[in-house]
Structure 1
Amino acid sequence: MTDPKDKHPLYRGPGQGREEGRGPRPPRRDDRQGPRIPHRAERAAPRPPYGDVEGRQDDSWPAKPKEFRIYGLNACLAAFRARPESVRKLWLLESRIPKLQELLAFCVKNRIGYNVVENEDLEKLTASAHHEGVCLAMLPQPELNLSNWLMTAPTGRCLLLWLDGVGNPHNLGAIMRSAAHFGVAAILLPKTSSLSHSGAASRVAEGAAEHVPLIRLGRTDNAIAQLASAGFTLVSTVVRGGSDVFRSELPARCVMVMGAEQTGVDSDLLAASGLRVEVPGTGQVESLNVSAAAAVLLAEWRRQNSKA
């Protein structure tokens, strides 16, 4: 007996086209009718398990993590070599092709879009004249949670850097560069800090942003208690009224607290600090830029605590 559906003029079985010769119906793009077919660039690499800053996957999972743009030659090469699976698109000047052969070959192999553009295009893409001929769209590094980080923290000598009130991304980039050079294990950022991974910070960091993790803190009192339980001593930096850093014994497990240039370190952090230090100078200027001061302080900690 013939199936009645075979006689219906609108019935089409699996694999049949809507009209003769047209092939199967394309997938619906309306999310209510089914999942969106990902673009080939999205299929090029597995998506990382992003969650909130406490390490839990948030309610919007699997929402696509926000992309951001990294620019600068060293910053882009470091990001590509550390996290190739996070690369989403490449823009470059024709003059940069010889320096970026490895990155271009990766994009071709993994069907990741790239465009050779003019200098004016890169200035618009990066909002900077200091793009150095290359820009990458990438998934950001996840910020870490202090509790989780402390579970696998190094034992013995360890230096952390707490940035309290620092808000300039260029200062963050310069601090990251010094932090990577002198062996800082992580940079701590208050919950309310505007700082994060960004194109501007990454360019100034010259690749260091891939080597120094950022930890987003919760409540200040909880963070202080957790760090103390892990054997860390807070050392706050002040413009005046502190001990000469070059004559002070810096702890082996140290959290160096740097404040904003105008307001300094928060009073609660000062009260919780086991030591207050300053960088002595001629007095002809009030203080050093926060990134310059950080380099001096980190270098002195490393001098005192370097392994024989």
Structure 2
Amino acid sequence: MIKRKPNRRPDAPSRSFRPSGGGGGAVWLYGRHPVEAALRNPERAILDLHLTPEAHKSLDIPLPVAPRIVTRADLDALLPSGAVHQGFAVRVGALEGPEVGDLPGLAEGLERAVVVVLDQVSDPHNVGAVLRSAAAFGALAVVVQDRHSPEETGTLAKAASGALEVVPLVRAVNLSRALEDLKSAGFWTVGLDGHADLNIGEADLPERAVLVLGAEGRGLRRLTAEACDLTVRL
């Protein structure tokens, strides 16, 4: 039977965390899935919508703003070089997501609640891929460290393929403190480490779990690994 590490700071107060949008400014999203997901999200402020004629005809959802019909060349000039826009671009305001301290309340009433924490994962493509996977298995949120993670950008949203509108991206100032706060609220913290003795398929994961993934290449930092109740390998 897996025994939990003692919580070293059971009375640790919740800290302040920034909203999911990071910088809080407007950003261009592009590509069919990210744009359509943003248009379907009632919490997302839609500021400008640029569509090619073909893209406009293919949309069968109500549009919150009148679109500007443009050419592919117009979008190529508007967006970052190499952006695969598929004829879709939308300028949006940042989402106001929950804070780490809000997550236990969001888990109330759920049979199972999983939070994913990324320990200094800096590549927006990787963060987007994690968001996409988190949406597939119904994660409550993805938590990233404020200073060592990408901002909400079109690149990240494209990699997430619409999941940015479904799974809150929460930014924590202090990741170790965030883990301790979640542990104090009844979550078990599980670090994913390729060198761990226990396979994740052999672990009896609890109903309230935090899955912690390390950075590209070096994996979990020592302090982050020590904050986990157990480590498992995929």
The CA distance in 2 between the partners of 1:74 and 1:94, in whole Å, is 17
- Which residue does the alignment assign to 2:65? 107
Summarize the alignment of residues 3-22 of structure 1 with structure 2, pairs less than 5 Å apart: none
TM-score by length of 2: 0.82
Cα deviation, 1:75-118, whole Å, max 9, x if unaligned, reads 111111113761111111121121135455x424xxxxx32222
Q: CA RMSD in A?
A: 2.1
Q: Please, which of 47, 71, 79 is the counterpart of residue 30 of structure 2?
A: 71
Which structure carries more helix by proportion?
1
| Of 180, 183, 195, the match for 2:138 | 183
Runs of 5+ consecutive residues of structure 1 not aligned to the other structure: 1-51, 56-64, 109-113, 280-308
**Equivalent of 2:92 in 138, 144, 149:** 138
2:205 matches 1:272: no
Distance (whole Å) between structure 2 residues aligned to residue 217 and residue 233 of structure 1 = 18
With a CA cutoff of 8 Å and minimum separation of 6, indicate the structure with the bigger relative contact order.
Answer: 2
Whole-angstrom distance in 1 between the partners of 2:176 and 2:61: 47
The match for 1:148 is: 102
Larger Rg: 1
TM superposition shift of 1:247: 1.8
Q: Normalising by the residue count of structure 1, what TM-score does the alignment of the two structures yield?
A: 0.64
C-alpha contact (below 8 Å) 2:191/2:231 kept by paired residues: yes
Q: State the shift of 1:257 in Å.
A: 0.5
Q: In the alignment, which residue of structure 2 is the partner of 1:208?
A: 163
Question: Tell me, what secondary structure is at the counterpart of 1:66?
Answer: coil
Where 2:190 maps in the other structure, the secondary structure is: strand
Name structure 2 gaps, 5 residues minimum: 1-15
Moved over 4 A (4+): none
> How far off is 1:276 after superposition?
1.0
- Contact kept, 8 Å, 1:141 with 1:197, in 2: the verdict is no
Contact 1:143 1:216 (C-alpha < 8 Å) held by counterparts? no
Residue 98 of structure 1 aligns to a residue whose secondary structure is helix
Distance 2:105 2:40 in 1: 27
Residues 226-277 of structure 1 show CA distances to partners (whole Å, capped at 9, x for unaligned) of 1111111111111223311222222221110001121110111111212111
How has the CA–CA distance of structure 1 residues 84 and 240 changed in structure 2, closer, same or farther, with 3 Å as cutoff? closer
